[in-house]
Amino acid sequence: MEETKKCLLDDAFTSAMALTNSGVPQVPDRYVLPPSQRPAIGSSTSIRDDTTLPVIDLSLLHQPLLRPRAIHEINMACKDFGFFQVINHGIPLSVVKDALDAATQFFDLPVEEKMLMVSSNVHQPVRYGTSINHSTDKVHYWRDFIKHYSHPLSKWIDMWPSNPPCYKDKVGKYAEATHLLHKQLIEAISESLGLEKKYLQEQTEEGSQVMAVNCYPTCPEPEVTLGMPPHSDFGSLTILLQSSEGLQIMNSNKNWISVPYIEGALIVQLGDQVEVMSNGIYKSVIHRVTVNKDVKRLSFASLHSLPLHKKISPAPELLDGNNTAAYGEFSFNDFLDYISSNDFLQERFIDTLKKSSS
């Protein structure tokens, strides 16, 4: 047993789940964060639990008299947090639970089978991995994942895992449902900015959908590590399904707020592309993931983005003599090239695009 543990700790690729299953009594050194970056678990000074985070009833969007109320709520949530939860979103609870069940079965597969899909190439359409990029991470994070392109589904699904046998069907149904939900949300966000309802949807219509399926196993020392470091998502929107609490977002005062778990609800996070297209009216949300000593957490992050080579810039309708473009033009491919050759945890890609106000 001790020899097995030593092998796990020394191996160049070791999944977080393998460490948990081996019974390691403490977090290996490569997962230990500097004290200033560790989560203040149980501290009332660093985590502001008294903030009410927005929960929006999406059924209001389909009621002409109540739609303006929902649009206003979305506008306020995007300005104040870059984040909101949605209920009555139209995705059946059975589809949500089936997707989580398929993910559980996948991560429970023998490590040798999952290793067949390992890749550190961020352009790979299907890849299994641990941390963020195990081959380049200076500090590792307590997370295993599988990422795969998901739209159009018919183009990519044959590349997805064939085991467990239910994976393609159950996760495919969830991916299609979130793609439709993204269309509704991006229309509402466009409307909330005062743009034509179809403006942002037309920008993203031919774009990509990447499904990041994450597993955060139980951790012997959750106070010294994280499941994911502070970051913002690059795309337009991320629609997140979580099996339990663990996500934290940073508010305007740079305090961390724990996002409560609401059964059946989905989390909507604004990405960098919406921040740029809104010319900074809306902000992409900085968030991180904590881990737990007693509870394994699963999540589905449905990451929606503009087409790979399509150039993104602030909407012309939001610019005038007093409001000039605050960001430079860029594409999704530019972002992938950036994270392949830069430490995006030290400087966010979007920060490299900001123009000087002088």
One-letter amino acid for residue 154 of the chain: S
Residue 93's Cβ-count burial label (10 Å; 0-12, 13-18, 19+) is: exposed
For residue 289, name the pLDDT band (cuts at 50, 70, 90): very high
Q: Is the pTM of this model over 0.85?
A: yes
Q: Strands, E, within 81-182: which ranges?
A: 83-87, 126-130, 144-149
**pLDDT for position 8:** 41
Q: Strands, E, within the chain: which ranges?
A: 55-57, 83-87, 126-130, 144-149, 208-216, 228-231, 237-242, 247-250, 256-258, 266-270, 287-289, 297-305
Is the residue at 23 inside a domain? no
Instruction: Provide φ and ψ at 197, rounded to 5°.
Output: -55, -35
For residue 253, name the pLDDT band (cuts at 50, 70, 90): confident
Is the residue at 196 inside a domain? yes
Residues forming a β-bridge with 239: 268, 302
**pLDDT for position 49:** 53
Question: How many CA atoms, within 13 angstroms, populate the side-chain half-sphere of residue 291?
Answer: 30
The separation between the first and the last C-alpha atoms of the chain, rounded to the nearest angstrom, is: 62
Encode pLDDT of 108-120 as tens digits.
999 889 999 998 7
Is the residue at 194 inside a domain? yes
pLDDT at 295 over 90: yes
For residue 332, name the pLDDT band (cuts at 50, 70, 90): confident
Is the residue at 339 inside a domain? yes
**pLDDT for position 148:** 97
Encode pLDDT of 13-22 as tens digits.
789 999 999 9
- What mean pLDDT do residues 231-243 have? 95
Residue 77's Cβ-count burial label (10 Å; 0-12, 13-18, 19+) is: buried
For residue 344, name the pLDDT band (cuts at 50, 70, 90): low
For residue 7, name the pLDDT band (cuts at 50, 70, 90): very low
| Residues 6 or more apart in contact with residue 294 via CB below 8 angstroms | 218
Is the residue at 7 inside a domain? no
Number of domains into which the chain is organized: 1
For residue 4, name the pLDDT band (cuts at 50, 70, 90): very low
**pLDDT for position 333:** 83
**pLDDT for position 205:** 78
For residue 251, name the pLDDT band (cuts at 50, 70, 90): confident
Domain encompassing residue 267? 33-353
In CATH, what number is assigned to the domain containing residue 340?
2.60.120.330
Are 305 and 211 spatial neighbours (Cβ–Cβ below 8 Å)?
Answer: no
Is the residue at 301 inside a domain? yes
pLDDT at 78 over 80: yes
pLDDT at 239 over 60: yes
Is the residue at 224 inside a domain? yes
Is the residue at 334 inside a domain? yes
312 closest CA partner among 181, 242, 207, 217: 207
* Per-residue CA distances from 321 to 129, 144, 292, 318 (Å): 47, 48, 50, 10
- What mean pLDDT do residues 137-159 have? 94
